[in-house]
Amino acid sequence: MALVDGLGNLFDFHLLPGQAHDLKGVAPLIEDVAFDALLADKAFDAEWLLAELDVRGASAVIPPKANRTIKRHYDKHAYKWRHLVENFFAKIKEFRAIATRYEKTACSYAANWHLTATIIASR
């Protein structure tokens, strides 16, 4: 679970177990972080997250799930910038140790994420 800034650089990340849904990692990831908008895909269309963003005064640029009875509006033009997150993951996967998770412990895997993000940012 990764949070990137407006330029597509890593801001923070949170490791989750493989069987956990990504929504479980959102709360600790955005805790104490100030932002104006959160861009995410349909998987993050949850009432508690939308309410949290509303309380913070941040806009939710998250398309509604297909099973929503009442479709809510989202900024389709701003949603196009979500490709920066996908681009970051594509850059991370260039590093074989990250893509295949060679490290056995979460601590060493997280350290490699930091190292890889630093290398990407310095390019």
- What is the three-state SS of 64-98? CCCCCCCCCCCCHHHHHHHHHHHHHHHHHCCCHHH
Q: Is 72 helix (H, G, I), strand (E, B) or coil?
A: coil
pLDDT of residue 7: 86
Q: Tokens 């809510």 label which residue?
A: 72
pLDDT of residue 96: 87
pLDDT of residue 37: 92
Q: What is the pLDDT along the chain (123 residues), one digit of tens a residue?
A: 888 988 888 898 888 877 778 888 888 889 999 999 999 999 899 999 999 999 999 999 999 999 988 888 999 999 999 898 899 889 998 988 888 888 888 899 899 999 999 999 888
Q: Give the tens place of pLDDT for each residue, 16-27.
A: 877 778 888 888
Which pair of structure tokens corresponds to residue 20?
């956990």
